[in-house]
């Protein structure tokens, strides 16, 4: 595999694919189609490779339980991307209360554990409602949460979108972890939720964040800027289906 390509595998059902800069393809095995309540009709034989658009119409019908079966156990070669738990408050505060991880965040670091715990409770509700949301990230070869990231659904500019997010503890920066998380999240989004645009909003000085969004296949969209600068994938003019724009 080249450095641009991360493998993702969604346990326990064995969804497996390779996700590159622009999301190359997804492999869907028949047994996990059953796990997703039969809503993806891709695999008549054991394995079928297809571009995400092949599954678009049916993927829109996936239930939260079906999505959770895919999303909650995703991992890459180096990272475990798991559903956050109620006990992750201290890990949340360790990352979100650190001034270094908030250098570009005008709202500043979380002031205390209660603030981070409240954010965590919101994320847990996202998972309950949708079957996916931001992951807690650990390494396969070490204990401890190194950060949080992924996509979660929210309303933005009067549309439902997937917001791409990543915040990692500084000791692991510069090793390609954020890019790996972002590519995996965007790969799953394109495979299972292709009707939803993916956006990333960041500050103009936050080059690392911008590079990470680009590494996941998002493109700079100055026309969508607010106080943030915006990157997007699949944001098309209103009324048109999501596409590669
Ligand atoms: C943004 C962040 C998640 C990146 O994490 P990371 O694991 O260090 O990123 P990666 O190693 O995967 O690098 C991803 C890309 O960003 C680039 N990058 C990373 N740190 C950088 C820096 N300080 N300056 C410029 N580019 C940087 C990398 O070179 C890579 O791009 P490339 O592959 O095109 O060369 C991390 O810096 C962080 O947690 N920052 C604080 C939180 C934050 O700002 N989150 C974004 C909120 S909008």
135-189, pLDDT tens digit by residue?
A: 999 999 999 999 999 999 999 999 999 999 999 999 999 999 999 999 999 999 9
Looking at residue 144, what is its pLDDT? 97
pLDDT score for 19? 38
User: Quick check: 17 pLDDT over 70?
Assistant: no
- pLDDT recorded at residue 73: 87
Query: Ligand 1 atom closest to Cα of 168?
Result: 39
- Distance (angstroms) between ligand 1 centre and the Cα of 174 equals 7
CA 198 to centroid of ligand 1, rounded, Å: 18
- Residue 244: pLDDT band (50, 70, 90) is low
Q: What is the pLDDT of residue 85?
A: 98
Domains and CATH numbers, the chain: 62-233 (3.40.630.30)
User: Which residue CA neighbors atom 13 of ligand 1 most closely?
Assistant: 176
Cα–ligand 1 centroid distance for 44 (angstroms): 41
pLDDT of residue 55 exceeding 70, the answer is: no
What is the overall mean pLDDT for the chain?
80
DSSP per residue, the chain: --TT-EEEEETTTTEEEEE-TT---EEEEHHHHHHTTT-----SSSEEEE-GGGGHHHHTT--HHHHHHHHTTEE-SSEEEE---GGGHHHHHHHHT-GGGGTT-TT-S--SHHHHHHHHHHHHHHHHHHS--PEEEEETTS-SEEEEEEEEEEEETTEEEEEEEEEE-GGGTTSSHHHHHHHHHHHHHHHH-TTS-EEEEE-TT-HHHHHHHHHTT-EE-GGG-SSSEEEEES--STTSPP---
Strands 198-202 and 159-168: parallel
Residue 113 CA neighbour count, 13 Å, CB half: 6
Distance CA 167, CA 93 (A): 12
Q: In this predicted model, what pLDDT tens digit does every residue of 60-109 receive, in sequence order?
A: 458 999 999 999 989 999 999 999 999 999 999 999 999 999 999 999 99
Q: How far, in Å, from the CA of 98 to the mean position of ligand 1?
A: 16
Q: Which atom of ligand 1 is nearest to the CA of 200?
A: 48
């Amino acid at each position: 595999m080249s450095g641009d390509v991360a493998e993702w595998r969604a346990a326990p059902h064995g969804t497996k694919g390779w996700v590159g800069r622009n999301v190359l393809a997804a492999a869907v095995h028949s047994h996990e189609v059953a796990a997703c309540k039969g809503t993806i009709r891709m695999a008549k034989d054991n394995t079928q490779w297809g571009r995400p658009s092949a599954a678009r119409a049916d993927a829109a019908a996936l239930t939260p339980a079906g999505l959770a079966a895919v999303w909650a156990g995703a991992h890459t070669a180096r990272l475990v991307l798991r559903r956050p738990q109620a006990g992750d408050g201290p890990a949340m505060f360790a990352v979100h209360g650190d001034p270094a991880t908030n250098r570009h965040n005008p709202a500043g670091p979380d002031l205390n554990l209660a603030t981070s715990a409240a954010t965590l409770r919101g994320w847990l509700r996202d998972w309950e409602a949708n079957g996916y949301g931001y992951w807690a990230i650990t390494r396969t070869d070490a204990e401890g949460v190194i950060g949080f990231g992924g996509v979660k659904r929210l309303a933005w500019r009067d549309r439902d979108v997937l917001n791409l997010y990543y915040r990692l503890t500084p000791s692991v920066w510069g090793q390609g972890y954020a890019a790996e998380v972002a590519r995996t999240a965007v790969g799953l989004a394109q495979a299972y939720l292709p009707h939803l645009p993916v956006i990333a909003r960041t500050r103009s000085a936050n080059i690392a964040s911008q590079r990470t969004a680009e590494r996941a296949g998002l493109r700079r969209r100055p026309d969508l800027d607010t106080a943030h600068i915006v990157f997007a994938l699949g944001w098309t003019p209103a009324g048109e289906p999501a596409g590669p724009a």
